[in-house]
């Protein structure tokens, strides 16, 4: 099932969206859906990261490099 959502965008964002749509040959709605999905995924990741940060810090994991060193 699909839902329709209306949003207002300024002229600068509209011009950027038009340009990307024309250059890629993709419909504006597809570009907006992909951008929204990407942003929501980033927000979900950041929420999870914020929840586990105190636990990581208590283990001495303060940077991304610390995490990569531990999992490598």
Q: Please list, residue by residue across 37-68, b when 16 or more beta carbons sit within 10 angstroms of its beta carbon and e when fewer do.
A: eeeeeeeeeeeeeeeeeeeeeeeebeeeeeee
- Domain boundaries, given as residue ranges, for the chain: 11-71
What pLDDT score does 5 carry? 93
**Cα 29 from Cα 72, distance rounded (Å):** 40
Q: What is the pTM of this model?
A: 0.73
The end-to-end CA distance of the chain, in Å, is 42
Q: What is the pLDDT along the chain (72 residues), one digit of tens a residue?
A: 889 999 999 999 999 999 999 999 999 999 999 999 999 999 999 999 899 888 888 988 888 898 888 888
Question: At a CB cut-off of 8 Å and minimum separation 6, what does 33 contact?
Answer: none
């Amino acid at each position: 099932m699909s839902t329709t959502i209306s949003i207002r965008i300024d002229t600068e964002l509209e011009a950027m969206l038009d340009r990307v749509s024309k250059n890629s040959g993709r419909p504006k709605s597809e570009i907006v859906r992909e951008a929204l999905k990407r942003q929501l995924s980033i927000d979900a990741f950041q929420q999870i990261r914020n929840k586990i940060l105190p636990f990581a810090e208590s283990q001495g994991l303060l940077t991304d490099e610390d995490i990569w060193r531990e999992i490598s």
